[in-house]
Amino acid sequence: MMTVGKRELICIGCPMGCPVMVEMDGGEIVSVSGNTCPRGDAYARKEVTNPTRIVTSTVKAEGGLVEMISVKTKEDIPKDKIFDCVRALKGITVKAPVHIGDVILADVAGTGVDVVATRNA
C-alpha cells in the first residue's frame, strides 16, 4: 500500500462516480478532496486503507419456480476475500421457500459477514 503521495480514485459509492483525491503521508490520510458527499469521503478512506466490496452471486435452488437464487454479502467484505467468498458458495443448494434476507451462508470465508438471499423463491 502506498504511504506517501496522492491517489486518485473514482468513488463507487453511487453511480455518480465522483473523482476523489486522497493525500497520504506516512501511512496517514492527510486529506480527501473531490467528493461531493460524505459517502465519497468514507469510500476513499476505506479504499486506501482497507478496500472492501459487496459480493453478489447465485446458489442453486430446489423445489421452487427458479433454478437459481441470487445472493449477496450482507455487508461489504475485504476485497482480497472476494474469491474465497464465491468459492465458499460453490456447491450450496437451498430449498424453497426462500425469502429476501434469509441467511444462505453465515460468516462467509471468515469475514464475519453473512451471505443472504436477494430474491424470493
* Binding residues for other proteins (CB under 8 A): 9-15, 17, 53-58, 60, 65-68, 70, 72, 79, 82-83, 86-87, 89-91, 100, 118-120
Residue number, 4 or 14, with CB nearest to other proteins: 14
CB of 58 to other proteins, least distance (A): 6
Residue number, 17 or 27, with CB nearest to other proteins: 17
Rounded to whole angstroms, how far apart are CA atoms 101 and 63? 19
Output the DSSP codes for the chain. ---SEEEEEE--SSTT--EEEEEEETTEEEEEES-SSHHHHHHHHHHHHS-EE--EEEEEEESSS-SEEEEEESS-EEGGGHHHHHHHHTT-EEESP--TT-EEESSGGGSS--EEE-S--
CB of 105 to other proteins, least distance (A): 13
CB of 26 to other proteins, least distance (A): 26
Residue number, 26 or 91, with CB nearest to other proteins: 91
Q: Judge whether 96 and 102 are in contact, CB under 8 Å.
A: no
Residue number, 24 or 47, with CB nearest to other proteins: 47
CB of 3 to other proteins, least distance (A): 21
